[in-house]
Amino acid sequence: MMNLSSLIVIHESKENHPAFSGAPLFSPFRIQDFFKIETCLRNIWIGLDRSPAFRPELPAHFQYFRGADAYQFLLKLACGLRSKILGETDIFGQIKECWQKFEKENLSPGSVSALAVRHLKPWMQRLFEDTKDIRTRYIQGAGGFSYGSLVRHLFKPSPEDKVLLIGAGKLALSVAPYLSDSEVLLWNRTQSHLMPIVDELHRAKAAHVTVIESSDTATKEEAWKTATYVILCVPLDRESDKKLLDLWATRPKGEKPGAILHLGVLRRDAGEWNEADHFYCLDDLFDLQKIQDKLRNEHFRQARKACVEKTNLRLLGGPMTMPHGWEDLALFG
């Protein structure tokens, strides 16, 4: 296994820039030598290289990390310390899911990225181990850190409300249990993918859960017209989104006007959604989180310090339980 100095991380923020679509930007590296993590706010490529003098030419909004800086970046990312929702748990699940998929797709020795899997696996295992330890010691006791808890805080859905949840990914799975006090309607293009969410809602003792068949357009449209809240955990789809907005515009005006929350877009990219009545998106959850963060800053300060200490221990090599001498204390000064 290569040592920590060979670890490379390339980070692209999507927040203020359009996502970069070209693959051959890491020359002389091959794109298949990198493990890629993609979220709605960032792209991250993780690789290993033996040439410490090499630095790729990257666009201005990219960041390049190497060695201890790269590991510390990944650790803070996985702990939710670089997220807009500070300390949120969903990013750790996304990273693990992306890695499991990457590893599974390249199990065969003859696969394109088999070498990358073999070289990166020990470091990904260390990353997961250190993240779990830091989250357990410093972050889990600081309060709720999920999109779901913020959604509940934003809308405060009651037993009289009907909530339409669209999507079946990790984000929808995270949000669903926080809606269990209300009637929940579920819809996804692939209906079978909704079963884990149904199970999660049943574990949360949800009073009423309905799965809308993916082909049942009439019932889906009726749900849009009658739901108190609509929560979208899917990417933008300009063509179908226009139809959904038309449905929302024609819904009857009751005592409770209802609201839409789109968790797949920032306001600057929301386009026509911004014209809808009572529309919310990721920015609104981020603003809500900023208010809550003021109460939890000390927990995060300790977690960031732990990320630095974990990285320094990884620089020493060997297992985390391995004893070190007095001379090693200089790393923690």
pLDDT digits (tens, 9 = 90+) for 175-209: 999 999 999 999 999 999 999 999 999 999 988 99
Q: 280 CB contacts (<8 Å, ≥6 apart)?
A: 154, 259, 260, 261, 262
Average pLDDT score, the chain: 84
The pLDDT, as a whole number, for residue 18 is 61
pLDDT at 332 over 50: no
Distance separating alpha carbons of residues 27 and 212, to the nearest angstrom: 47
The pLDDT, as a whole number, for residue 324 is 44
Specify the amino acid at residue 70: A
The pLDDT, as a whole number, for residue 322 is 44
Highest mean pLDDT among 2-6, 82-86, 161-165: 161-165
The pLDDT, as a whole number, for residue 282 is 93
Q: 289: pLDDT confidence band, cut at 50, 70 and 90?
A: confident
State the average pLDDT over residues 206-213.
92
Distance separating alpha carbons of residues 280 and 154, to the nearest angstrom: 10
The pLDDT, as a whole number, for residue 30 is 67
Higher pLDDT among residues 292 and 64, named by residue = 64
Note the pTM of the prediction, 2 decimals: 0.60
- H/E/C letters for each residue in the chain? CCCHHHEEEEEEECCCCCCCCCCCCCCCCCHHHCEEEECCCEEEEEEECCCCCCCCCCCCCEEEEECHHHHHHHHHHHCCCCCCCCCCCHHHHHHHHHHHHHHHHCCCCCCCCHHHHHHHHHHHHHHHHHHHHHHHHHHHHHCCCCHHHHHHHHHCCCCCCEEEEECCCHHHHHHHHHHCCCEEEEECCCHHHHHHHHHHHHHCCCCEEEECCCCCHHHHHHHHHHCCEEEECCCCCHHHHHHHHHHHHCCCCCCCCCEEEECCCCHHHCHHHHHCCCEEEHHHHHHHHHHHHCCCHHHHHHHHHHHHHHHHHHHHCCCCCCCCCHHHHHHHC
**Interaxial angle between packed helices 147-155 and 282-293, expressed in degrees from 0 to 180 and rounded to the nearest 10:** 90
The residues of the chain that CATH labels 3.40.50.720 are 147-289
The pLDDT, as a whole number, for residue 19 is 54
Beta carbons of 83 and 305 less than 8 angstroms apart: no
The residues of the chain that CATH labels 3.30.460 are 4-143+296-317
Distance separating alpha carbons of residues 319 and 193, to the nearest angstrom: 39
State the average pLDDT over residues 195-224.
92
Distance separating alpha carbons of residues 260 and 280, to the nearest angstrom: 6
What tens digit of pLDDT does each residue of 19-57 get?
554 444 555 566 677 899 988 788 899 988 766 666 777
What fold does the segment set 147-289 form as a domain? Rossmann fold (3.40.50)
The pLDDT, as a whole number, for residue 4 is 87
Beta carbons of 86 and 296 less than 8 angstroms apart: yes
State the average pLDDT over residues 130-153.
81
Instruction: Look up the CATH architecture of domain 4-143+296-317.
Output: 2-Layer Sandwich (3.30)
pLDDT at 84 over 50: yes
